[in-house]
Chains A and B, each alone.
Chain A
Amino acid sequence: MVSAGASSLASPDLSTRVGPLRLQNPILTASGTFGYGLEFAERADLHRLGGLVTKGLSLEPLAGNPPVRIAETRGGMLNSIGLQNIGVDRFLSDVLPGLKDLPPKVIVNLFGYAQDEYVRLAERVDPYEGVAAVELNVSCPNVSKGGIEFGHDPDVLSGLVRRVRSATGKPIVVKLSPNVTSPQALGRAAQEGGADILSAVNTFVGMAIDTATKRPVLSTIRGGLSGPAIKPLALRIVFDVAREVDLPVIGIGGIETVDDVMEFLLAGASAVQVGTALFRDPRTAERLVDGLRARLRAEGVPSVDSLIGAAARPG
């Protein structure tokens, strides 16, 4: 047993357990904001990340939506990329070998147009040791007949997760949509289906209009809002989901500073994903790892674990 004084000088323990996953620290990169990771090895120190969530992968490569795909907004941006990706097979053959021996856990984000496709994707990645978990994208707002229909109906969602559950032994993360009345109800449905972890939240559906052309900015009219603008909204959902669903939660939504990370941990997240902030600075995630360590040391907090959910406990 060390004294409080000594523990404030020791290096805080940043490792965190998220269900079956053990991460070296609670900072991950969010799906769709850092490609497949490997292609940015020169712009960021991948070794220092807690985990890396790939761009959403589908069975076949997808070209994505026509331009215009993004619109800057106050405190963030709208995107409608349309799930452009290289396809699951190319990821497994060309990218995963370069990632699998790095310290960050590789979480593969999967996206299908039909339940069968999710099942086949899960079967495809299941044999690969380098895949630490799968994250089901059931909440992308940018594909017309897309995953969002799976993420908005509790019965459909629990059925989908159940089918994926039977296809893989990997931990299953279900990424929740914020565009529903009760994300926690969808979280419970995911749990019933056999999910191990929830990640919350995906982008908020929004739009922007060009006042010069008097037309919507995005080619798809609607897009997903991300960035600091959504942080309080996302934080509220993480707080509610963490309290009401008995699954570990990964917090996502406008995280850019150490305070943001702390808030999500205190709200009940066991880890966080950093997304849009990477567009401003590819080194945001590793900066947050350093910043979090310094902050815990300065406050004499011995471990990340001791913060998780503290704001939900009676003061």
Chain B
Amino acid sequence: MLDVQALPLPYFLLRARVAGMDPAEPGQFVMVAGANRPEPYLRRAFSVYDQEPASDGSLVISLLGKVIGRGTEALAECVPGERIPVLGPLGTGFHSVADGASTSGRAALVAGGIGSAGLGLLAHALERAGRSFDFFYGGRSAEDLVEAETFRRLSEQTGGRLVRTTEDGSAGERGLITTPLEEGLRAGTGYTTVFTCGPHGLMAAVARIAAAAGIAGEAATETPMGCGYGACLGCAVTLKNGGYALCCRQGPVFRLEEVAW
């Protein structure tokens, strides 16, 4: 663990050097826990928000977190130099990036608050691939748009832009982030794909909007996880076909139309 950068409360950015870890694909995650802590008992799943290879061959990963309970608290309290357990990369990332399919046309990335952590690697990958995207960033309040400047820079480098909304109007337009997304679609912005990560209600709304607009999309979902690697079978996501998929193996990224929102 290299450092924990305290962002405006309750957010934090944790950077860790992990020996022998393969780079994560956009949407993949790691299971982590605070150092030497018996509690909370289970590790926590974190999207790999950013990563870079270190000169010694290890991988430096960045995890963007929000303190919401005992697990995230333990991580936010890590001190530089502490050794923390990291298992990963885990799960299935964004298919349309991995497949190299539907890589043309503009993309809309829709994040709700800390859901932006799940779209970090994707934004970098799109930027590197030269694919234009707009980043829709919604939160309750200005401090929930904790990485707004990063996503502004990345989206503008692709010729796109950052669109912000907050429920209290403290940053961007007052309201929900789905409103400018729908307006953009009506105005003919030419999005061919929408990617989303955030609260369940947001992702469900994005799925409805994408279906209505006839565009493809994917969501990086989240469920409570026991192990993160497919052993406990605890992280079932209900699919439209009536079956279940494991968030940690078949997910966490699912095509929007697959999931029974």
Contact = CB atoms under 8 A, between A and B. Distances in A.
Interface of A: 32-35, 39-40, 43, 55, 63-77, 79, 81, 84, 227-228, 276, 278-282
Interface string B16-55: 0000000000000000010000111111000000000000
B73 to A, nearest CB: 14
B238 A279 contact: no
Nearest to A37: B231
Interface residues of B, number: 26
B227 interface: yes
Given A72-B41, A77-B41, A84 B230 contact: no
B41 A69 contact: no
A72 B69 CA distance: 12
20 contacts: A33-B232, A34-B231, A43-B87, A64-B236, A67-B235, A67-B236, A69-B235, A70-B224, A72-B224, A74-B39, A77-B234, A79-B234, A81-B232, A81-B234, A84-B233, A228-B38, A279-B227, A279-B231, A280-B42, A280-B227
B232 A72 contact: no
B28 to A, nearest CB: 15
Contacts of A32: 233
A177 B71 CA distance: 31
Contact of B236 (A69, A74, A76): A69
B229 A77 contact: no
B42 A35 contact: no
Given A63-B243, A69-B235, A281-B85, 6 more contacts: A63-B244, A66-B236, A67-B236, A73-B41, A279-B227, A280-B42
A283 B244 CA distance: 27
Interface of B: 33, 38-43, 85, 87, 223-227, 229-238, 243-244
Contact of A278 (B41, B85, B227): B227
Contacts of B233: 32, 55, 64, 69, 81, 84
A64 B236 CA distance: 9
A63 to B, nearest CB: 6
B226 A79 contact: yes
Q: Is the interface of A mostly helix, strand, loop or mixed?
A: loop
A282 B41 contact: no
A207 to B, nearest CB: 15
Which of B38, B87, B233 counts the most chain A CB atoms within 10 A? B233
Ranked 6 nearest A-B pairs via Cβ: A70-B234, A279-B227, A279-B226, A67-B236, A69-B234, A81-B233
A54 to B, nearest CB: 12
A8 B40 CA distance: 38
B31 to A, nearest CB: 9
A40 B244 contact: no
Nearest to B247: A67
Nearest to B223: A67
Contact of A282 (B40, B42, B231): B231
A117 B211 CA distance: 44
Contact of B42 (A39, A40, A77): A77
Contact of A84 (B33, B42, B229, B244): B244
B224 to A, nearest CB: 6
A79 B231 CA distance: 12
Given A63-B244, A64-B244, A67-B237, A75 B232 contact: no
A64 to B, nearest CB: 6
A278 B231 CA distance: 8
B39 A67 contact: no
